[in-house]
Chain A
């Protein structure tokens, strides 16, 4: 009951947030001086042509009218037509979303693996030089954002020791025919593990750049929770029973220490997705973020709106899922 009411309140705030985002982006990009359809006009277009095109895209109406029409269309799932690419925005955006999602999820997995490993090592060798090394590493990793890590990775593994691809999602020579836009998942389901390996190696650098700061956050928080748990009586009991330290950390301490980290991962995951915008650009990865920067440079208003709304929807949905998961996973809140 409580759960349901919480869900409904959250859905309502989510709707308000998305509406707010729509208002902000709609009016913000219309402050831009200049005619948004100017770049579509062939040289020598007459006044009449301009008026016709403006009417076609609805730019001849008042701002408020434009907003009402646009919101009505959006609610019906129609995001308009891209000015620069001349295709429906919803098609373009949904075609790119899988690439960004795959990259983000890959980065998340790397972050969890790396962060978890660091936290484990830091706990296992606590109060020693090794723990200090873990602290310095995570402190540095956290202080520097994904953009700089990406450049460092490009330099190290793309130029000095070129073992990884630093450009594009798929190699141009890759002959595999994809039927969906979820390349990695599709290749996996069709049991083409060679293609999976190829795709993973191509997105490893951008994913790692996105993962490093998050891995550091996970390592710091999880290590702290683990160390607090290691003092508890039941952990001492497990140790006196003769279990190895590794076993004690992983089987006894971890299940009780992991909840704060899980919540944090949820929140941080949206920041990670936000980071894909510039990371995709750096690695020429054909995702949503790369398309967004092109859309801004080309002043493609319908496309910018569509991409921003989609990102906002993604962020709010993830936050909602995290909040609900927290309620489900936290035994103290379950029967409240």
Chain B
């Protein structure tokens, strides 16, 4: 159902603008990484080790954000790290969303046995400490991009399933669903045509939040050295390296950490902003 008021465009909130801008910059940097990055992210040069960022004494031109202990360019590594981070965010977030939301709708709309089994599984999953679960899964599957994505899907589907189940339950109890049934729609049609459009805003908001979570999980796994191979620079891996040499070269830790911080904050603010914007009650 569309209300006339929905066509009156509200100005996009500042947080939507800011987070959207940052994520766009990041996406562009990730896509065009080989052309944007000033140096090869893997090229080592021990004579250029631990160069400070450009405004400090002893900086080398061209190495804007300095170099790490092996002489690798921090900025280039961050740009290439954005590829891994955004890839994981996009793929893992979308897959988790599809699987979790489907199970949630199934449990909330059909109830009965499917609900009982799915809810019991959610209970079991919630009893695992998620970080330990992730590390365990990576240990089982072996490190690598695919393992990380699978681990995130396996662990986080419950986030969607729980919320979407509750949302579907409350939507299913509403009069419009009953009238659709009386009007002769099948159960399945009702679900697709009536329920789905109404839970979509929640799904989109959760998806954006999940992308932020996926970035963090990847960083945590790189941090405990269980992410993808050491050949590809990742933010988590850079942070882990920076953490050990923070007293000699703080920039190796600070820049990736700040980037990760901004990215996670942006995904989360984008999710919140979209939720408010699409919320039919607030609109």
User: Which of A29, A160, A274 is within 8 Å of B129, CB to CB?
Assistant: A274
Mask: chain B, 175-215; 1 = CB below 8 Å from A; 0 = not: 00000000000000000000000000000000000001100
Among A139-147, A199-207, A227-235, A242-250, the stretch in contact with B: A139-147
Mask: chain B, 252-283; 1 = CB below 8 Å from A; 0 = not: 01100100110011001100100000000000
Among B28-36, B77-85, B130-138, the stretch in contact with A: B130-138
Mask: chain A, 304-326; 1 = CB below 8 Å from B; 0 = not: 10011001100110000000000
Contact present for A20 and B124 (CB under 8 Å) = yes
Contact partners of A16 in chain B: CB under 8 A: 120, 123
Contact present for A308 and B132 (CB under 8 Å) = yes
Is A53 an interface position by the 8 A CB rule? no
Contact present for B268 and A147 (CB under 8 Å) = no
Is A292 an interface position by the 8 A CB rule? yes
Is B46 an interface position by the 8 A CB rule? no
Is B43 an interface position by the 8 A CB rule? no
Give min CB distance, A197 to chain B, whole Å: 26
Contact present for B268 and A143 (CB under 8 Å) = yes
Give min CB distance, A161 to chain B, whole Å: 13
Contact present for B132 and A292 (CB under 8 Å) = yes
Contact present for B264 and A32 (CB under 8 Å) = no
Contact partners of A20 in chain B: CB under 8 A: 120-121, 123-124, 127
> Would you call the interface of chain B mostly helix, strand, loop, or mixed?
helix
Given contacts A17-B123, A17-B124, contact A31 B132 (CB under 8 A): no
Given contacts A148-B264, A159-B250, A311-B128, contact A29 B243 (CB under 8 A): no
Give min CB distance, A303 to chain B, whole Å: 12
Contact present for B129 and A32 (CB under 8 Å) = no
Give min CB distance, B157 to chain A, whole Å: 14
Given contacts A155-B254, A297-B139, contact A21 B127 (CB under 8 A): yes
Q: How many residues of B contact A (CB 8 A)?
A: 38
> Which chain A residue has the least Cβ–Cβ distance from B213?
A145
Is A266 an interface position by the 8 A CB rule? no
User: Which of A31, A278, A289 is within 8 Å of B140, CB to CB?
Assistant: A31
Contact present for B127 and A18 (CB under 8 Å) = yes
| Cα–Cα, bound, A289→B257 (Å) | 23
Give min CB distance, A74 to chain B, whole Å: 15
Among B4-12, B58-66, B98-106, B216-224, the stretch in contact with A: B216-224
Contact partners of A31 in chain B: CB under 8 A: 140
Is B150 an interface position by the 8 A CB rule? no
Interface centre among A140, A145, A297, A299 (most CB of B within 10 A): A145
User: Which of B127, B140, B224 is within 8 Å of A293, CB to CB?
Assistant: B224
Given contacts A16-B120, A155-B257, contact A148 B216 (CB under 8 A): yes
Return the 10 tightest CB-CB contacts between A and B, nearest first.
A143-B268, A20-B124, A274-B129, A312-B127, A277-B131, A278-B131, A17-B123, A315-B127, A296-B139, A277-B132
**14 A-B residue pairings within 8 Å (CB atoms):** A20-B120, A24-B124, A25-B136, A145-B264, A147-B223, A151-B253, A277-B129, A277-B132, A289-B131, A297-B224, A308-B132, A311-B128, A311-B132, A312-B128
List the interface of chain B (C-beta within 8 A of A). 120-121, 123-124, 126-132, 135-137, 139-140, 212-213, 216, 219-220, 223-224, 239, 243, 246-247, 250, 253-254, 257, 260-261, 264-265, 268-269, 272
